Structure 1
């Protein structure tokens, strides 16, 4: 599958409607982004089951800010709507293949359980901070 450009309006639906989504945050003026682009495109052709998307941080500044992008290129990977990888810097083809393989190999039941535990712990901590009592906490 070739890469697909996405906007802020398309970001949520792209992540929600697909099992595995990689997102390359880039800009036209960024030298490392230009070097990574052909690698990203070539690896995308080997994985038709993965959405390889690109976000132009100049055109989509609000999305880049909401995603916490402070350095480009930054690669994010989502699986079953969960952010499972985020790293700034250009990867070579072998490194990108390793990321794709690792994301595909994740035990998502375990990942979802970890997310649920983390959210429960955060909610319990927030309850203690504002003085409210959470039942069972």
Structure 2
């Protein structure tokens, strides 16, 4: 499955819910973004069970600002409605594939329990 372009209106419904979603924040004038594009597209084709989404930061400046995107490309990875990875910079194919396997291997019950414990601790 090819990567899909999403807007601010699509963002929440794309990243919420079950499953894995990778979101690439990019711009056409960004050299590293253009070098990362075929890596991201190839990973999308190789992993049809994962949603691969792209946000054009020029067209979606409000969304990029709201999410604190200050460097591009920035990759965000969500699993089961939890942000599990966020990093600026273009990844080589081997690193992206490794990241995907690590996200697949996450014990989400454990991740959510840790988040809940941290939130409880912060509330004290």
Match of 1:38 in 2: 38
8 Å Cα contact 1:18-1:51 kept in structure 2 = no
Match of 2:65 in 1: 65
Aligned residues: 124
| Distance in structure 2 (CA, Å) of the matches to 1:103 and 1:90 | 18
Following superposition, the deviation at residue 68 of structure 1 comes to: 1.3
Match of 2:7 in 1: 7
Following superposition, the deviation at residue 123 of structure 1 comes to: 2.0
Match of 1:89 in 2: 89
* Residue aligned with 1:91, SS: coil
Larger Rg: 1
Match of 2:118 in 1: 118
What's the CA shift string for 1:75-117, capped at 9, x where partnerless? 0100000000011000011010011111100000110001111
**Following superposition, which runs of at least 4 residues in structure 1 exceed 6 angstroms of deviation?**
none
| Distance in structure 2 (CA, Å) of the matches to 1:65 and 1:120 | 29
Backbone CA RMSD of aligned residues: 0.9
| Distance in structure 2 (CA, Å) of the matches to 1:91 and 1:73 | 9
- Structure 1 residues 18 and 4, CA, compared in 2 at 3 Å: closer, same or farther? farther
Following superposition, the deviation at residue 18 of structure 1 comes to: 4.5
Instruction: Give me the TM-score of the superposition, normalised by structure 2.
Output: 0.96
- Structure 1 residues 108 and 18, CA, compared in 2 at 3 Å: closer, same or farther? closer
Instruction: Give me the TM-score of the superposition, normalised by structure 1.
Output: 0.88
